[in-house]
């Protein structure tokens, strides 16, 4: 009985710690989106400047540099255009919540079959959880990039792009022109970029959690 009491008590503390981390991720993500979106908008436009697009709805741009890009965007489209793509960016803030949800679900399923998880187990389920979260949210990242570029004929009055209506329109257009896989162009590179980092993060997270319980005087119910 004492073992199960300690285990349940520790699990409760783990859930509290997980909720705390998720809250930090969400708040940090929202603040980060609001502060950095103008920089991402300018960065995206400068990177795509001079590129040839098969999509006739996209209007070419001509900027001399960062300052000129800011000036032209504000002059021609209004200051709110610097926050194009904010809505999908805010939705993408939930990416860490999705990966933590799948991570905890996979971890608990494994713990039903064994008493403890190895570092390799943690690494693998962390990688799988991030791969799922990235795949689920990737279409929104595609739309986010299109909205940041902003110069789109569906927006002739230079209104801020990012309403749910425009997002659904862009998703529909993408699927109509390229098929469902058009929503996942570049996914392989994104997975290579994020999955390894996330797997290592979860490994460190578990080690820090175990160390925290040790400092608090509780033995970890599931050592890694």
Identify the helix (H) or strand (E) that includes residue 187: helix 187-215
Q: Residues with Cβ < 8 Å from 108, sequence gap 6 or more?
A: none
| Residues facing 58 on adjacent strands | 152
Nearest to 149 by CA among 134, 170, 164: 170
d(CA 195, CA 200): 9
Cβ contact 50:92 at 8 Å: no
Q: For residue 62, give both structure tokens.
A: 């001509």
State the pLDDT at residue 18: 61
d(CA 184, CA 28): 26
State the pLDDT at residue 122: 86
Look up the pTM and report it: 0.66
160 — alpha (psi -120 to 50), left (phi > 0) or beta? beta
Cβ contact 51:27 at 8 Å: no
Average pLDDT over residues 39-48: 85
- pLDDT surpasses 80 at 24: no
| Residues facing 152 on adjacent strands | 58
Q: For residue 77, give both structure tokens.
A: 């489209």
d(CA 187, CA 190): 5
Tell me the range of 26-30, 66-70, 145-149, 201-205 where mean pLDDT is highest. Answer: 66-70
**Ranges of each domain in the chain:** 1-83, 86-185
Q: For residue 149, give both structure tokens.
A: 């570029």
Interhelix angle 95-111/119-149, nearest 10 degrees: 160
Q: How confident is the model at residue 133 (pLDDT cuts 50, 70, 90)?
A: very high
| pLDDT tens-digit readout, 211-224 | 776 776 655 444 45
- pLDDT surpasses 70 at 153: no
């Amino acid at each position: 009985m004492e073992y199960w009491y300690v285990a349940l008590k520790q699990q409760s503390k783990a859930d509290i710690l997980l909720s705390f981390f998720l809250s930090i991720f969400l708040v940090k993500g929202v603040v980060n989106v609001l502060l950095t979106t103008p920089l991402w908008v300018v960065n995206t436009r400068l990177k795509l400047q001079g590129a040839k697009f098969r999509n006739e709805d996209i209007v070419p741009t001509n900027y001399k540099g960062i300052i000129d890009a800011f000036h032209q965007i504000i002059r021609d489209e209004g200051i709110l255009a610097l926050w194009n793509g904010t809505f999908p960016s805010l939705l993408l803030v939930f990416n860490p919540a999705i990966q933590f949800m799948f991570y905890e679900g996979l971890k608990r399923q494994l713990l039903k079959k064994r008493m403890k998880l190895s570092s390799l187990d943690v690494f693998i389920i962390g990688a799988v959880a991030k791969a799922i979260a990235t795949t689920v949210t990737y279409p929104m990242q595609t739309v986010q990039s299109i909205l940041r570029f902003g110069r789109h004929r569906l927006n002739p009055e230079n209104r801020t792009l990012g309403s749910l209506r425009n997002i659904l329109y862009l998703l529909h257009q993408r699927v109509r022109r390229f098929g469902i896989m058009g929503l996942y162009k570049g996914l392989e590179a994104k997975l290579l970029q994020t999955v390894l980092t996330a797997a290592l993060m979860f490994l460190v997270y578990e080690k820090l959690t175990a160390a925290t319980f040790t400092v608090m005087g509780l033995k970890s119910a599931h050592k890694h």
